[in-house]
């Protein structure tokens, strides 16, 4: 075997995931409580353009973003348990959203026949974004002030996550009426079904820029795997790469979470799946993780739409149900160290 | 060639290295010997630019402090004592050595260089195996191979024979000496095994408490200098021109340690 053949296997896996994703998009687009014949799907029926397509594209973009963020966090923090969810970034976003809903009254929702609609999603998203940034900056600040080791940074994230959860609960406890509480709870369910085209384009832009940056740094991430000293001796500015990696991945996560709520496990599991199949080379891990993350989230959302149709289960709940056992399985196999 | 002049390094206001001055010529196997905690590893880290020290370090006529990270990485390769094992293939791990030369992506030339190094280090059968599947000896060879892919002028090895069996120790050291002599580069090596050092060393410095105690060829390995540095009574005999160091003991008495 030569090196090119060795790489070809990785390309082949990437291609396989890409084709599966495309196939799944087609399946997902034709499934729904409102039955549409195939020619109407192709003709761009309003149900497709306004409901199913935004939903599918959001699932793909958010799945890809969370997965690539998780992959990068796992590398720069040298901890395979790192992910947007385990670092408290998602919980920070929920805290911000809860604050906006309860105290600023911007997000009062009203019940319609089919579910709950958010009145002013942008202010909530903005506060969710700020909330997630608090987590990020506390972790980064701690690492700067106390020169925290990457391993301890994840523990700081875990602490931040529970602090934010407690704060959110406290706000809910003292909230004036139950509609506010319901709105907060509803918001925190990760859901890819409430984004509109404008929000999708924001996520898209954040995703594309982050992905280009991560891809540019792919070889540096490989050097980090060999330890800081080796990376330094190879001419890599380890501190800068670590800081930038954390900032960009947290930023991307924040954008996603602020529009969709908390979606756990994709960022944790997707990079591991790729690592098990094609190894830890970040030249491939970055791009293929995005594909696997997109596929996972789309799969989870389709399951959520189908399982007790016409009721749609928010994708955040489905990913937790699929993700947790998967992760435990990976732990048992000894793949996650 | 490398010149080190008045190198000092303090860690939390404790002076770890004091006025270190020496010179390493091209084609030399240069050994730094000394007990645990004497500052050997810190010295290598200062030379490799991993730690910032005061004093002057010249590499091939250029001052270390005036070189960028990448420029240093093209001249100095460092293999630390502790190896982080990751899920990369042997080929990709060695390819990392090309990082200082890579701008946007890996080129054909980089791949050819890695292929050549894999052949010289006889790693062909492991090339596409993951590092996680290798033995200690194989892993150490891969790390040195990675350092060679940097095409350095100076090769820094921190206790390269640790955790290796006798055969692997000799294999690794033979290979290092061969590249050093063939390419005319310098290797600076820290080591605990005085007998391996005495076989392979062209020059030796002996370090104690961050200071150089003795410097020279293998002849500096005397009972007096070893007693001074390690506090152990030894006998040094000559075997085919190579000093052989054996702790002095009598069968009824333990080895004298002071």
CA distance A9 to chain B (A): 12
Residue whose structure tokens are 């002849």: B219
CA distance A230 to chain B (A): 7
Asked if residues B129 and B90 have their Cβ atoms less than 8 Å apart, the reply is yes
Which ranges constitute the DSSP H helices of chain A? 3-30, 38-43, 46-47, 53-76, 89-103, 121-145, 150-173, 178-188, 197-216, 218-225, 228-233, 238-260, 266-278, 282-306, 315-332
Does A280 sit within 8 Å of B86, measured CB to CB?
A: yes
- Closest residue in B to A220 (Cα) is B99
The answer to whether the Cβ–Cβ distance between B86 and A236 falls below 8 Å is no
Residues of B in contact with A1 (CB under 8 A): 127-128
* Chain B residue whose CA is closest to A282: B88
Counted across chains A and B, CB pairs separated by less than 8 A come out at 87
Q: Which of residues 278-307 of A touch B (CB under 8 A)?
A: 279-281, 283
Burial of A181 (0-12, 13-18, 19+ CB in 10 A): middle
At B23 the pLDDT is 93
- What is this structure's pTM? 0.89
Q: Do B50 and A280 touch (CB under 8 A)?
A: no
CA torsion angle A162 A168 A174 A180 (round to 10): -150
Tell me, yes or no, if B130 comes closer than 8 A to chain A by beta carbon: yes
Is the CB of B51 inside 8 Å of chain A's CB atoms?
no
pLDDT, residue B180, reads 94
Homologous superfamily assigned to A3-333: ABC transporter involved in vitamin B12 uptake, BtuC (1.10.3470.10)
Determine the Cα angle at B73 with ends B185 and B186, to 5°: 15
Average pLDDT over residues A258-267: 87
Chain B contact for A117, CB < 8 A?
no
The string of pLDDT tens digits covering residues A313-331 is 888 889 988 888 887 887 7
Domain ranges of chain A: 3-333
Instruction: Give yes or no for residue A115 having a pLDDT over 90.
Output: no
Residue B246's DSSP bridge partners are B235
Determine whether B29 is exposed, middle or buried from the number of CB atoms within 10 Å of its CB (0-12, 13-18, 19+): buried
Q: Which two tokens stand for residue A110?
A: 């009203």
pLDDT band for position A117 (cuts 50, 70, 90): low
Question: Is residue B142 a contact partner of residue B93, using CB atoms and an 8 Å limit?
Answer: yes
* Residue pLDDT, tens place only, A195-212: 888 889 999 999 999 999
Chain A residues lying within 8 Å of B74, measured CB to CB: 235
8 Å CB contact of A234 and B100: yes
- CB distance A230–B84 less than 8 Å? yes
> Does A225 contact chain B (CB < 8 Å)?
yes
Cis? peptide before A233, omega within 30° of 0: no
Residues 6+ away with beta carbon under 8 Å from A305: A31, A32, A33, A312, A313
Residue in B72, B74, B88 closest to A281 by CB: B88
With cut-offs at 50, 70 and 90, classify the pLDDT of residue A300. Answer: very high
**B126 close contact with A: CB closer than 8 A:** no
The DSSP symbol for A27 reads H
pLDDT in tens, B80-119: 988 888 889 999 999 999 999 998 888 899 999 999 999 9
Range scoring the smallest mean pLDDT among A43-57, B63-77, B173-187? A43-57
Bigger pLDDT: A259 or A113? A259
């Amino acid at each position: 075997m030569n090196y090119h053949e060795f790489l070809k296997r990785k390309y082949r896996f990437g291609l396989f995931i890409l084709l599966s994703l495309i196939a799944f998009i087609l399946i997902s687009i034709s499934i729904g409580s409102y039955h549409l014949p195939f020619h109407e799907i192709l003709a761009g029926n309003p149900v497709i353009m306004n409901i199913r397509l935004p939903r599918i594209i959001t699932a793909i973009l958010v799945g890809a973003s969370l997965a690539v963020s998780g992959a990068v966090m796992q590398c720069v923090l040298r901890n395979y348990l790192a992910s947007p969810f385990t670092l408290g970034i998602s919980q920070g976003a929920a805290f911000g959203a809860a604050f906006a809903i309860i105290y600023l009254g911007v997000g009062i929702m009203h019940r319609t026949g089919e579910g709950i609609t958010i009145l002013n999603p942008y202010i909530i998203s903005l506060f969710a974004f700020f909330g997630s940034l608090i987590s990020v900056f506390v972790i980064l600040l701690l690492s700067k002030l106390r020169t925290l080791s990457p391993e301890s940074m994840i523990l700081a994230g875990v602490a931040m996550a529970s602090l934010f959860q407690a704060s959110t609960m406290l706000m809910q406890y003292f909230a004036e009426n139950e509609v506010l509480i319901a709105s907060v709870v509803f918001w925190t369910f990760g859901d890819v079904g409430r984004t509109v085209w404008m929000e999708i384009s924001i996520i898209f832009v954040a995703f594309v820029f982050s992905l280009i940056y991560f891809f540019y740094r792919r070889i540096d991430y490989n050097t980090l795997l060999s330890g800081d000293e080796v990376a330094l001796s190879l001419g890599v500015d380890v501190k800068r790469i670590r800081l930038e990696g954390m900032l960009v991945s947290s930023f991307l996560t924040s954008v996603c979470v602020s529009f969709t709520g908390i979606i756990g496990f994709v960022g944790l599991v997707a990079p591991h799946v790729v690592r098990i199949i094609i190894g830890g080379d970040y030249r491939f891990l970055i791009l293929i993780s995005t594909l696997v993350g997109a596929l996972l989230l789309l799969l989870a959302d389709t399951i959520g739409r189908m399982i007790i149709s016409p009721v749609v289960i928010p994708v955040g709940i489905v990913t937790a149900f699929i993700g947790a056992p998967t992760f435990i399985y990976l732990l048992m196999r000894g793949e996650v160290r | 060639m490398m010149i080190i002049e008045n190198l000092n390094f303090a860690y939390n206001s404790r002076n770890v290295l004091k006025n270190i001055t020496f010179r390493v010529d091209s084609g030399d196997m240069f050994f730094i010997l000394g007990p645990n905690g004497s500052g050997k590893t810190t010295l290598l880290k200062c030379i490799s630019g991993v730690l910032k020290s005061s004093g002057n370090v010249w590499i091939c006529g250029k001052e270390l402090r005036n070189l960028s990270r990448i420029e240093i990485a093209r001249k100095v390769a460092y293999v630390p004592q502790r190896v982080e094992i990751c899920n990369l293939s042997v080929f990709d791990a060695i390819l990392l050595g090309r990082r200082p030369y890579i701008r946007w992506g890996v080129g054909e030339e980089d791949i050819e260089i890695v292929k050549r190094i894999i052949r010289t280090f006889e790693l062909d059968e492991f090339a596409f195996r993951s590092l996680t599947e290798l033995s200690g000896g194989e892993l150490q060879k891969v790390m040195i191979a990675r350092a060679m892919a940097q095409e350095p002028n100076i090769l820094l090895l921190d206790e390269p024979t640790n955790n290796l069996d006798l055969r692997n120790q000799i294999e690794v050291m033979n290979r290092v000496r061969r590249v050093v002599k063939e390419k005319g580069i310098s290797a600076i090596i820290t080591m605990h095994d005085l007998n391996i050092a005495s076989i392979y060393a062209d020059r030796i410095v002996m370090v104690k408490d961050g200071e150089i105690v003795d410097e020279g060829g293998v002849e500096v390995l005397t009972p007096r200098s070893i007693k001074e540095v390690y506090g152990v009574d030894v006998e040094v005999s000559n075997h085919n021109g190579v000093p052989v160091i054996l702790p002095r003991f009598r069968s009824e008495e333990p080895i004298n340690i002071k």
